[in-house]
Amino acid sequence: MSIGGNVAIDGAALWADILETARFGATPKGGIKRLTLTEEDRAVRDWFATTTAALGCTVSFDSMGNQFARLPGLDESLPPITIGSHLDTQPTGGKFDGILGVLGGVAVLRALHDSGHRPRHPIEVINWTNEEGSRFAPAMVSSGVFAGIFTEADVMAITDRTGVRFGDALDAIGYRGAEPCGQHPTAAYFELHIEQGPILEAEDKTIGIVTGVQGMRWYEIDITGRDSHAGTTPMPMRADALLTAARLVTLVNDIALEHAPDGLGTVGLMENSPNSRNVVPGSVFMTVDFRHPQDSVLDAMETAFRDRMLALTAGGPVRVELRRTWDSPAVHFDPACIDAVRQAATSFAYPAREIVSGAGHDAAYMARITPTAMIFVPCAGGLSHNEEESATPDDVTAGANVLLRAVLETDRRLAA
Ligand SMILES: [Zn+2]
């Protein structure tokens, strides 16, 4: 007998939800700017609460502002099977990154509500606070607190680039809840997401069975030289911080290429001071992002970068200070949950392949405390963190159907 064979995702309703929530923070180019803990974020949270309450859910939020929409199970003594992702976006974000995972969860709730089919476990959909890490770095802080990676006090004290504290921003939108973050049982966790890469589309696959997440590390670098007059300071007497920064950008790229094809290195943020056309730059702040599926290779990349950075600046007038601000080890998902995703894809005869996630996700932290797996669907051109991010209604529906069936299969397996 197929599990929940007569319960199916309403693809049209899911697509309508994607378009409706895209209004909160809509950009002229068709994307979304919905930075975490802003008015736009509050608006979409309110929408999530209202929509899931109408589907028979009890809706709550914890001390980090993580929202939980809970559909009761036949056995309320069982911990919930959870589905989650995030509704915040990058400054020039799209309509799918994170959003599909939450709205796919809403689609699962709707399918269960409309069919009257009740799993034994309660089913909860989670909207995690600040997955993106764009306004408040690092990323995934709230699933991180939930899983015990970060302390709540540390995260509350993080400031954005204008000096606003995370805790104050959370209070300002009214989403600091009474339930202590992490005091929330889970039986399993599933996350549906666009691939954010080109592989599924290139291979004509509808479903990515995600087996884990590559390791990634973030660094911050302060480069200190000396501001001086561009017209009167001879070249040998300069302490040009931006010139050193440029060499470090090249070094990051070289190190990634030395570990091809899996090694990745990016400098995505740089602040040049005083940033004036006739002043030799005296200081630069920049970030570095290194990724690889193996932690041992990441160790080697980090060591190479540090050594060559110091060699590059040794004896010179420019000083560099490197800080590792984030370390997310490679993650391996739960075999039984991966299997539930694989079976679900097979049951619909969707073309599928196994894949390692290149991006970080809340699932990476959830995997540390509960059996976890992810489902990917293709996105056009592999484009993400971009206003033109796009996915087809058919693929989105397929992903949500796999999510639904993987959850029902897990409910059956765990209750057996
Ligand atoms: Zn995401």
- 100 C-alpha to ligand 1 centroid (Å): 9
pTM of the model: 0.83
- 160 C-alpha to ligand 1 centroid (Å): 20
pLDDT digits (tens, 9 = 90+) for 117-135: 999 999 999 999 999 999 9
- 75 C-alpha to ligand 1 centroid (Å): 32
What amino acid occupies position 14?
A: L
Mean pLDDT of 341-347: 98
Strand-pair category, 331-332 with 207-213: antiparallel
Quick one: pLDDT band at residue 416, thresholds 50, 70, 90? confident
- 130 C-alpha to ligand 1 centroid (Å): 10
How far apart are alpha carbons 61 and 36 in whole angstroms? Answer: 15
285 pLDDT higher than 50: yes
Helical H segments across 203-322, by residue range? 241-258, 295-313
Nearest to 108, CA basis, from 67, 57, 58, 184 = 57
DSSP 72: P
- 330 C-alpha to ligand 1 centroid (Å): 17
What amino acid occupies position 277?
A: R
- 212 C-alpha to ligand 1 centroid (Å): 15
- 93 C-alpha to ligand 1 centroid (Å): 10
Quick one: pLDDT band at residue 189, thresholds 50, 70, 90? very high
82 membership: H or E segment, kind and range = strand 81-86
pLDDT digits (tens, 9 = 90+) for 39-56: 999 999 999 999 999 999
Mean pLDDT of 288-295: 94
Q: How high is the pLDDT of residue 261?
A: 87
pLDDT digits (tens, 9 = 90+) for 65-93: 999 999 999 999 999 999 999 999 999 99
The CA–CA distances, whole Å, from 83 to 124, 192, 249, 374 equal: 6, 8, 38, 10
Report the chain's mean pLDDT, rounded to a whole number: 96
- 98 C-alpha to ligand 1 centroid (Å): 4
- 132 C-alpha to ligand 1 centroid (Å): 7
pLDDT digits (tens, 9 = 90+) for 202-223: 999 999 999 999 999 999 999 9
99 pLDDT higher than 80: yes
Mean pLDDT of 384-394: 94
- 197 C-alpha to ligand 1 centroid (Å): 12
- 118 C-alpha to ligand 1 centroid (Å): 29
Backbone φ and ψ for 97, nearest 5 degrees, come out as -60, 110
How many CA atoms does the CB half-sphere of 254 hold within 13 Å? 10
The whole-angstrom distance between residue 260's C-alpha and the CA centroid of its chain comes to 24
Q: How high is the pLDDT of residue 360?
A: 87
Q: Which residues contact 163 (CB under 8 A, 6 or more apart)?
A: none
- 201 C-alpha to ligand 1 centroid (Å): 18
- 384 C-alpha to ligand 1 centroid (Å): 9
pLDDT digits (tens, 9 = 90+) for 249-283: 999 999 999 999 889 999 999 999 999 999 999 99
Q: How high is the pLDDT of residue 1?
A: 38
Q: How high is the pLDDT of residue 2?
A: 47
Residue pair 356/213 in contact by the 8 Å Cβ criterion: yes
378 pLDDT higher than 50: yes
Q: How high is the pLDDT of residue 415?
A: 85
